[in-house]
Amino acid sequence: MDIKTNEVLDAKGLACPMPIVKTKKTIKNLDAGQVLKVEATDKGSTADMKAWAEKTGHQYLGTTEENDVLSHYIRKSSDEDSQEKQYPHVVDNEVLQSLDEDAIVLDVRESAEYAFGHIPGSKSIPLGELDERMSEIGDTKNIYVVCRTGNRSDMAAQKLAAKGYNHVYNVVPGMSGWSGETTKSN
């Protein structure tokens, strides 16, 4: 699984609580929404990272393991949950679950978020890459933009509409309230 991250922290060989201590220090230097990859060998670090992220408000995305090295992915929290949504064409998750073939589900979360769970058939273009990759999206179908809570998808929907895309819908609350099927990237 090739996951784009903004920073990698080497915590291999460290025992509890040091991976958390180093993670706490490192994540302070990241911008809101950026993804930190923490490499650790302490088997207990998976539960520790998840609990720490939940306690501090950061988003624990998931953990992979390769050659006895655990890679924990954590997205730095932001104030996106409390920001006002502005794009006028909003649909809820129920509408998204009943879509037909004539629709595009555009996931604008970071690649690490997408890798650990996304709607089957959705297209991943992180918000930060949307301007450069907009040509990958056909403009003849309905476009349903999804993120974790509806804030990044709101911004993406506004960008698409400003570039002349018609039939763009922001999905609220997005993946934080999604109860349908999900899949992981290989």
Task: Let me know: does 183 contact 99? Beta carbons within 8 Å.
Answer: no
Residue 119's nearest CA partner among 139, 132, 131, 103 is 103
Strand partners, 8: 37
- Give, as one character, the DSSP assignment of residue 133: H
Given 8, 10, 13, 16, which residue is catalytic?
Answer: 16
User: In Å, what is the CA distance from 179 to each residue of 14, 34, 41, 117, 119?
Assistant: 37, 25, 33, 12, 10
Question: Is the dihedral angle over the CA atoms 24, 130, 116, 41 positive or is it negative?
Answer: negative
| Catalytic residue flag (residue 16) | yes
- Active-site residues, by number, are 16
